[in-house]
Homo-oligomer: A and B are copies of this chain.
Amino acid sequence: MQGLHILAEFHGCACAGGPMEDAPELGRLCEAACTAAGLGVVGRLFHAFGTPDAPAGATGAVVLAESHLTVHTWPELRAVTLDLYVCNFSRDNRAAAEAVYAALADAFRPARTVRRDVARGNPAVTPSPDAGIEVI
């Protein structure tokens, strides 16, 4: 269960339409990025908000043998949030995670990114005294 979790937000995306609004296209993009990086895709599920005439973003998940990729788009804000969690059960997947991240950044072309890297599943992490809740 130990691994890398990248939490990222893309702001000011130059990408208009396409995966920003179209759920099947977003799903294909995400699955292709994971497959190209050598990650094991076990399924994907994507959903579009709004209507074809008035798209309101897309959302979904690629479930991986190594954990998951989730992406949510806000076309009205030209923004995207993504989470990529890759555990290192059978190998170190850090390079694969960076490859997926780069592929999504290439597709959405953000002007600004906010990214946090979290080490998951490390039993050495000491929770804070208040019932193990650590606020960051």
Binding site for B on A (CB under 8 A): 1, 5, 7, 9, 11, 42-47, 49, 59-61, 63-65, 67-68, 70, 72, 74, 77, 79, 81, 83, 85, 87, 112-118, 120-121, 123, 125, 127, 131-136
* B63 lies within 8 A of A60 (CB): yes
Give 7 A-B pairs besides A1-B9, A1-B72 with Cβ atoms closer than 8 angstroms: A9-B120, A60-B63, A72-B87, A83-B85, A114-B125, A114-B127, A117-B135
Q: Indicate whether A63 sits within 8 Å of B63 (C-beta atoms), given known contacts A1-B77, A117-B136.
A: no
* A113 lies within 8 A of B136 (CB): no
* A132 lies within 8 A of B117 (CB): no
